[in-house]
Amino acid sequence: MNIEELRDFCLSLKGVEEKTPFDDRTLVFSVKGKMFCATNMGAFDFINLKCDPEEAIILREKYSEVTPGYYMNKKLWNSVSTKGQVPDSLMKEWIVNSYHLVVAQLPGKLRKELAGH
């Protein structure tokens, strides 16, 4: 997956925005103002994804490309190498999981807006 494919996929999810809130290199994808994916636009060596704490440990043990979140809460975030052997389909699954974790923590009103109710 290259950065344009990442961008297209993330923006295809409902309610997603992209911003550079930290600096001019860090691209952040958020839903209703809450981040679920981030990457360095220049290097694009890895992406940071939110993850269930127990699942995060399992993924780190199973895949050498998955490490504790760089510059993130290491319990809740994983960094996934974009240079490794993780297939795009699995990367997309993890992005969607991250998105859903963030959506689940949104206030009910915002979740209803996303659901179209």
What residue spans of 2-115 are helical by DSSP H? 3-11, 53-62, 88-104, 108-115
Closest CA to 76 of 50, 96, 100: 50
Give residue 15's Cα distance to chain centre.
14
Give the three-state DSSP class for 101: helix
Structure pTM?
Answer: 0.94
Instruction: Note down pLDDT in tens along the chain; length 117 residues.
Output: 999 999 999 999 999 999 999 999 999 999 999 999 999 999 999 999 999 999 999 999 999 999 999 888 899 999 999 998 899 999 999 999 999 999 999 999 999 989 875
DSSP state of 84: S
Write down the domain spans for the chain.
3-110
Instruction: Please work out, in degrees rounded to the nearest 5, the angle formed at the alpha carbon of residue 114 by the alpha carbons of 37 and 74.
Output: 25
Cα–Cα–Cα angle for 37, 73, 17, nearest 5°? 20
> What class has domain 3-110?
alpha beta
From residue 115, alpha-carbon distances to 13, 14, 50, 112 in Å are 12, 9, 21, 5
